[in-house]
Structure 1
Amino acid sequence: MSVDQKITAMDVWHLQLPVNARRDHGIGSVEHVVDIVVVGLTAEGGQTGYGEGSSWSVFTGSAEASFAALDRYIRPLVVGRSIGDRAAIMADAAYAVAHCTEAKAALETALLDLQGRISGLPVWALLGGKCRDTIPLSCSIADPDWEADLKLMERLREDGVRIIKLKTGFKGHAYDMMRLEELRKNYPEFKIRVDYNQGLHHDNAIRCVQEVATFDPDFIEQPVKAHLRSLMARIRDSIDIPLLADESVFGPEDMQTAIAMGLCDGVSIKIMKTGGLTRAQTVARMAQSVGLSAYGGDMFEAGLAHLAGTHMIASTPEITLGCEFYQASYFLVEDILQTPFEVKDGQVIVPQDAGLGVLPDPDKLTKYTLTHSNGSKA
């Protein structure tokens, strides 16, 4: 049977992908390139499944750490195991190396992709079945050059995207208010969300958030540092706009704390934070069980990670606020997939083919690789 096949090889690549703009967030900036890690698992029948780990050093960790976690610490737990041992492999990986959630997300993605390709099933079928065929796309507006962002807004309008998230807290409160005013005036058809990425100082956070709330965004996300959970709860109580947690909630363990403290009205769910697709589903179900909302966030991802997130959201009815899988279409100079990550009329299209649905292009893996390891000592 397909699930009895052994995993015979594991390849790990560290890629550096050029981007077309700078993006500023409350905790840091990204420009020129982004770093990702790709893992490929090959079964004895010859099929290969792929996964991506997309990290950011100020958020989840570094690509170098993810590469080492997979190549040195997780590899011995994987090669020689049966494909059907996915749950056991992931349980072992959880304790093989601390943190490195992106590496674990890449591993589970590759295991699911491999099992799906061998069995002929899409990853969403392996995660419990599909609840939607499309997912509304949100694109982040984060260029410190406001004119460049306005050009992006025109492109999004033309493409049928109707949700944006304004990144705030990196250039002063007056700048944030100016942009919100212009967006509301000139782009009334767009839903607007606001994300501080921890960018506000605790001394003036409540006042700034209250003033931003007057623009009636869909939600305001993570205004203060992740550990300031009591302040998050106070901010939540001070506004009528939903407050969402991102950096304060990585996985199910943090979700327990968030619920107990009443620190948010919803949560950003990212497979790179949770350490995998199934843990991401758990966070969404925990949120829904107490009436909290959820949406599909992401890191600085390529199309491979977007595909994993898409399958996860497609099989998770508790995630109702769309996704942010825009980088492959609007941020990367070139994606790594053989065919483009599919977005149509502002909607991400859920793949129907086996596994993730699209393979990485081997030529692009070669083109953008900084480091590659197949476990050989040679």
Structure 2
Amino acid sequence: MMPVRIAAIHVTQTTRRFLKPFRNAKVHMETLDYLRVDLCGDDGSHGHAEMTAMPGYSSETIASMRTAIEVHFAPVLLQMEALKENDIIQALRQTLPGNPYAHSVVELALLDLRARLLGAPAHALLGGATRNEVPLGAIVTLDTPAAMAEEARYWHALGARTLQVKVALDAQSSLARVDAIHQAIGSDTVIAIDGNGSFQVVTALQTMKVLERYNVGFFEQPVPAWDIQGMATLCRAGLIPIVADESLFTAHDALRIVQERAADGFNLKLAKSGIRETQRIMAIADAAGIPYGLGAMLETPFGSLAGIHFAATLRQPLFPAELVGPWKMRDPRIPDGWLSQDDFAWKVPSSPGWGGTPED
């Protein structure tokens, strides 16, 4: 097999509109922009990936990602051998440190290209799938208690049995939202809450106390990302398991969280960490006995494929994958055959690469 070199890099942007505005403690969005990267091999092969930089969550923007890729990464990538992943990743890190979202979308496109060149599904290059389907949990958008209860009924009817419920700022509003959802769907569903860093330690403790009777699965990122000591305080309280998200981008973050005993679980996201850094985080978590699951960033159907492949390799995830972005969009266009016929789950593709393209 002759070496395949990267001959061109194409970057495009697309926008999707939500069925209803998406809200959490940080952001209110009616639309979301996505960046697509196409790595072209000199033999006519292609590797695709798609990523968003969610306002209120990412320090990057679609514009900054595009600049990083077109101005800084492209000159380095051109003519590099596509299968020499180690050389490519090292070159990108040396060229432009930081910028995790820009790094991640290029790394994902490279994985798709490599897998297609090797004639294997992407998960085979990640250690292999442990299941044929990826079960899904759902995300309940921040809204009035009544509106959130209605959305919870929608997810429950689809088959979701784990809900990540957005909460914000204080105990009483959080109690009202969780109580309304609990009454709407009963006790056969795990309710977890996500503060997106909007609570202070005191109000987070108050929230945990008033929600104790609901057997909440976990409290994700209650306090700001920088407040590792605050996360540790909440862990010591032992009322509800604490999961790190915004505090966790790199293996260095994971190591500090473990050292400070500042989380009971990790929410992994390919957008913020990429493949390699996520695997380094997992290794630290495994050594420390900390469970983890795969979160998401409201990806499109095609954008969800990377998460599907990655989630399929996790043996005992802390929670079902949160790859439900398409259900929040006005025109999701989920291709036939991508979903389970029996459960609320994605099928794990077996064809080369992601098993799909942005045109599907």
Specify the TM-score bucket, using the shorter chain as the normaliser: over 0.9
CA separation of 1:156 and 1:57: change in aligned 2, threshold 3 A = closer
Corresponding residue for residue 99 of structure 1: 98
Distance across 2 between alignment mates of 1:228 and 1:205: 13
Q: What are the superposed Cα offsets for residues 304-343 of structure 1, whole Å, 9 maximum, x if unpaired?
A: 3311111112223363422100011x11223477668535
Q: Which amino acid in 1 is paired with 2:149? A: L
Structure 2 residue 342 is matched with structure 1 residue 332: no
Distance across 2 between alignment mates of 1:180 and 1:203: 19
SS where residue 149 of structure 2 aligns?
helix
**Which structure exhibits the higher relative contact order, with contacts defined as CA atoms closer than 8 Å and separated by 6 or more residues?**
1
SS where residue 314 of structure 2 aligns?
coil
Corresponding residue for residue 235 of structure 1: 234
Distance across 2 between alignment mates of 1:302 and 1:126: 23
Distance across 1 between alignment mates of 2:155 and 2:262: 33
Q: Paired residue for 2:55, among 43, 54, 57?
A: 57
Distance across 2 between alignment mates of 1:95 and 1:296: 28
Corresponding residue for residue 252 of structure 1: 251
RMSD of equivalent CA atoms: 2.0
CA separation of 1:201 and 1:254: change in aligned 2, threshold 3 A = same
Measured after TM superposition, the shift of residue 138 of structure 1 is 1.1
- Worse overlay, 70-79 or 149-158: 149-158
CA separation of 1:59 and 1:98: change in aligned 2, threshold 3 A = farther
SS where residue 246 of structure 2 aligns?
coil
Corresponding residue for residue 365 of structure 1: none
CA separation of 1:209 and 1:154: change in aligned 2, threshold 3 A = closer
Please tell me whether the aligned partners of residues 142 and 165 of structure 2 are also in contact (alpha carbons under 8 angstroms): no
- Worse overlay, 279-288 or 255-264: 279-288
Measured after TM superposition, the shift of residue 89 of structure 1 is 1.0
Distance across 2 between alignment mates of 1:342 and 1:67: 31
TM-score between the two structures when normalised by the length of structure 1: 0.89
TM-score between the two structures when normalised by the length of structure 2: 0.93
Q: What are the superposed Cα offsets for residues 189-215 of structure 1, whole Å, 9 maximum, x if unpaired?
A: 211111101011244222222323332
Q: What are the superposed Cα offsets for residues 78-123 of structure 1, whole Å, 9 maximum, x if unpaired?
A: 1111111122211221232232211111111111111212221000
- Ranges in structure 1 where 5+ consecutive residues have no aligned partner: 363-378
Please tell me whether the aligned partners of residues 160 and 346 of structure 1 are also in contact (alpha carbons under 8 angstroms): yes
Corresponding residue for residue 152 of structure 2: 153
Corresponding residue for residue 356 of structure 1: 354
Corresponding residue for residue 339 of structure 2: 342
Corresponding residue for residue 70 of structure 1: 69
SS where residue 70 of structure 2 aligns?
helix
Identity score, percent: 22
Corresponding residue for residue 29 of structure 1: 27
Distance across 1 between alignment mates of 2:147 and 2:229: 37
Distance across 1 between alignment mates of 2:209 and 2:74: 49
Corresponding residue for residue 45 of structure 2: 47
CA separation of 1:46 and 1:262: change in aligned 2, threshold 3 A = same
Distance across 2 between alignment mates of 1:336 and 1:79: 33
Please tell me whether the aligned partners of residues 55 and 300 of structure 1 are also in contact (alpha carbons under 8 angstroms): no
Q: Paired residue for 1:312, among 310, 313, 317?
A: 310
Corresponding residue for residue 374 of structure 1: none
Corresponding residue for residue 296 of structure 1: 294
Q: How does 1:142-221 map to 2 (within 5 A)?
A: 142-169=141-168, 172-188=170-186, 189-221=188-220
Please tell me whether the aligned partners of residues 195 and 220 of structure 2 are also in contact (alpha carbons under 8 angstroms): yes
Q: Which amino acid in 1 is paired with 2:124? A: A
Structure 2 residue 284 is matched with structure 1 residue 286: yes
Distance across 2 between alignment mates of 1:285 and 1:336: 36
SS where residue 87 of structure 1 aligns?
helix
SS where residue 169 of structure 1 aligns?
coil
SS where residue 38 of structure 1 aligns?
strand
**Count of residue pairs brought into register by the alignment:** 357
- Ranges in structure 2 where 5+ consecutive residues have no aligned partner: none
SS where residue 129 of structure 1 aligns?
coil
Q: What are the superposed Cα offsets for residues 224-252 of structure 1, whole Å, 9 maximum, x if unpaired?
A: 01111111101111123211101111121
Distance across 2 between alignment mates of 1:351 and 1:223: 35
